[in-house]
Amino acid sequence: MTFSTADLEAASALIQAHFSPTPQLPWPLLSALAGTEVWVKHENHTPIGAFKVRGGLVHLDRLRRANTALKGVISATRGNHGQSLAYAGRATNIAVTVVVPKGNSAEKNRLMQGFGARLVVHGEDFEAARDEAFRLAKAEDLVFVPSFHPDLVLGVATWALEFFRAAPKLDALYVPIGLGSGICGAVGVRDLLGLDTEIIGVQSAGADPYARSLAAGQSVVLNRADTLADGIAVRMPDERALAIIRQGVARIVTVTDDEIAQAVRAYWTATHNLAEGAGAAPLAALLKEREHRAGKRIGLVLSGGNIDLSLFRSWILERAAFA
């Protein structure tokens, strides 16, 4: 899965018609905490608070141009992918249906509906919701939008293009892995620009199919995704993403929910930015590896700021302040 500089520039122009590039900032208190220079790409400042919106805008724009008789699109999600499609659907005048599992974040559900999506609740986990989305797509003649697709990778890759161009040269970049569009986009941009930045993937220790697949040398499917960081709560790797990760990522670091919670608190106290679990996971991985990062310039993507109030209370307010 490759793209050209022209592809990236066209995607960037499309996205910037909707919102400005997000900031990339050095944070002294985070640098002190990690023992090295830290730059953060603030994708929590997009209109949906996550980098997924970039991919949604590119993919739905292409669908609209290719199919003037399009009745609508449908997908399954735990939140940010669905918000991306809902936002892009409103921007492109395409009807969007999103299927979420039972117990999904009530706040993310409301955000998707607020952007105009039809919300369907079905099943106990993401995979069950996805099966229902397939069924509804066939029954209602809707186009199913997967969570991993070349258009989505191209759109999401624009965050990495902005980051690599605007920040000083990075020795390493930590990126969370859900189904993989964010990290695959970063790998593609790094290689296209001819950089030698080390890219490190981050997964939850309770939902690490990519890490296990790399270790096993073959695709590994988990029985469950056991993490409160819903943006990276996946059981099954995408084969296309796995191939890119295998070739282009230095390693995958796994972090516990307690380590993620510590990183959420660190972002709040050091920058007053509120990160969701998936967004804070790269910082958690850096802190876990801080003994080996001294003297480096490290990039982190804060890829999501959509944390539930109840989880915010638990991870920020009900635990001891981060020291």
46-94 pLDDT, tens digit each: 999 999 999 999 999 999 999 878 999 999 988 789 999 999 999 999 9
What burial class does residue 162 get, using C-beta atoms within 10 Å of its C-beta: 0-12 exposed, 13-18 middle, 19+ buried? buried
Name the residue among 142, 26, 57 with its Cα closest to residue 132. 142
**3-state DSSP call for residue 73?**
strand
Neighbouring C-beta atoms of residue 222, cutoff 10 Å? 15
- Beta carbons of 171 and 296 less than 8 angstroms apart: yes
Q: Does position 321 have pLDDT exceeding 70, yes or no?
A: no
- Give yes or no: residues 206 and 89 share one domain: no
| The pLDDT of residue 88 | 97
- Beta carbons of 29 and 323 less than 8 angstroms apart: no
Q: Has residue 263 been placed in a domain?
A: yes
- Give yes or no: residues 136 and 59 share one domain: yes
Name the residue with higher pLDDT: 106 or 35.
35
What predicted TM-score, i.e. pTM, was given to this entire model? 0.94
Q: Has residue 178 been placed in a domain?
A: yes
Q: Has residue 140 been placed in a domain?
A: yes
Query: Given CA atoms 284, 285, 288, 290 in this order, what sign does their dihedral have?
Result: negative
| The pLDDT of residue 126 | 79
**Unique residue bearing structure tokens 């809902």:** 86
| Bridge-based pairing state of the strands 37-42 and 24-26 | antiparallel
- Beta carbons of 57 and 19 less than 8 angstroms apart: no
Neighbouring C-beta atoms of residue 77, cutoff 10 Å? 28
- Give yes or no: residues 231 and 266 share one domain: yes
Q: Has residue 308 been placed in a domain?
A: yes
Structure tokens at 52: 């997924």
- Give yes or no: residues 182 and 259 share one domain: yes
- Give yes or no: residues 187 and 269 share one domain: yes
Structure tokens at 321: 């302040």
Distance between first and last Cα of the chain:
43
- Per residue in 199-235, pLDDT (tens digit) is 999 999 999 999 999 999 999 999 888 998 888 988 8
209-216 and 239-248 helices cross at what angle (nearest 10)? 70
**Unique residue bearing structure tokens 């117990």:** 103
- Give yes or no: residues 38 and 62 share one domain: no
Name the phi and psi angles at 247, rounded to 5: -85, -35
Mean pLDDT of the chain: 93
Last residue of one domain, picked from the residues 144, 179, 209: 144
Residue 171's identity, in one-letter code, is D
Neighbouring C-beta atoms of residue 140, cutoff 10 Å? 12
Exposure of 186 in the CB half-sphere (CA atoms within 13 A)? 30
Q: Does position 197 have pLDDT exceeding 70, yes or no?
A: yes
- Give yes or no: residues 179 and 82 share one domain: no
- Give yes or no: residues 42 and 77 share one domain: no
* Average pLDDT, integer, range 142-160: 96
Last residue of one domain, picked from the residues 95, 127, 144: 144
- Beta carbons of 55 and 151 less than 8 angstroms apart: yes
Structure tokens at 271: 């920058």
**CATH code, 108:** 3.40.50.1100
Q: Has residue 322 been placed in a domain?
A: no
The domain total for the chain is 2
- Give yes or no: residues 122 and 30 share one domain: no
Question: Domain limits at 304?
Answer: 5-51+150-317
- Give yes or no: residues 200 and 183 share one domain: yes
What is the rounded distance in angstroms from the CA atom of residue 295 to the CA atom of residue 272?
25
Query: Given CA atoms 175, 180, 186, 190 in this order, what sign does their dihedral have?
Result: positive
- Beta carbons of 229 and 260 less than 8 angstroms apart: yes
- Give yes or no: residues 164 and 211 share one domain: yes
Structure tokens at 320: 């001891």
- Give yes or no: residues 125 and 83 share one domain: yes
Last residue of one domain, picked from the residues 92, 115, 144: 144
Q: Has residue 269 been placed in a domain?
A: yes
Name the residue among 14, 37, 13 with its Cα closest to residue 25. 37
Q: Has residue 323 been placed in a domain?
A: no
